[in-house]
Homo-oligomer: A and B are copies of this chain.
Amino acid sequence: MAQSTQAPKTQERILSRAKEIAQVHGIAGVSFRDIAAHIGIKSASVHHHFPSKGDLTVALVRMQRAETESALARIEGEADFRERMRSFVNLFRTHLVTGNRFCLCGMMGAEVAGLPEQAQHELADFFDACAGWLEAQIAAEGTRLRWSPYASPAQVARLFVASLEGAMLIARVHQDVAHFDAAIGVLLDGLSQD
């Protein structure tokens, strides 16, 4: 039971620090030495928990996926459709207003060419999960949305997720959430009922 007292704490702290750096500087900007120094151990000890950087990378995406999926499940409990949409958007918006970070998966998406194959797959799953969840929410609204006559729920969901990532990226360049809100606001309005 020693494992469940101290050991996991270290793993979590490693992942937490790695995520923080990755959201700002990318996976390439994450270093074992920085992580080690930040949590008070040595870089060799980080290798003990995550033998290679690839392992750390995969663990990072997995963690993000798990977090997001549980968040989506929680949001699904909210009654009002527009409220759910707003909560969904806030899942991403939060990163911007907390140290001008990027979505972890968005950042790793940019770096995708250098990632381990498994991380690439998990990353694709992440975006599919987001779009899939969104599609289900939209589909449940039937034909009441402004988009309904023109595009399928699946299409709108994909556009939505893409817009979120792109709007975050651009808002980060401008260091101004207003750019994010302006772009996504249009989308949210478009999802309103006529």
- Chain A residues close to B by CB (< 8 Å): 24-26, 28-29, 100, 102, 106-107, 109-114, 120, 123-124, 127, 146-147, 150-151, 154-156, 158-159, 161-167, 169-170, 172-174, 179, 182-187, 189-190
Question: Given A26-B28, A29-B28, A173-B124, are A186 and B111 also a contact pair (CB < 8 Å)?
Answer: no
**CB-defined contacts of A154 to chain B, threshold 8 Å:** 182
Task: Evaluate contact between B172 and A169: CB separation under 8 angstroms.
Answer: no
**CB-defined contacts of A29 to chain B, threshold 8 Å:** 28, 114
Q: Please report the C-alpha to C-alpha distance between residue A124 and residue B179 in the assembled complex, in whole angstroms.
A: 11
**CB-defined contacts of A189 to chain B, threshold 8 Å:** 150-151
Complex partner residue of A170 from B127, B150, B182, CB under 8 angstroms:
B127
Minimum CB distance partner of A152 in chain B: B186
Q: Please report the C-alpha to C-alpha distance between residue A106 and residue B107 in the assembled complex, in whole angstroms.
A: 11
**CB-defined contacts of A25 to chain B, threshold 8 Å:** 111, 113-114
Q: Please report the C-alpha to C-alpha distance between residue A184 and residue B23 in the assembled complex, in whole angstroms.
A: 26
**CB-defined contacts of A185 to chain B, threshold 8 Å:** 155
Q: Please report the C-alpha to C-alpha distance between residue A161 and residue B164 in the assembled complex, in whole angstroms.
A: 11
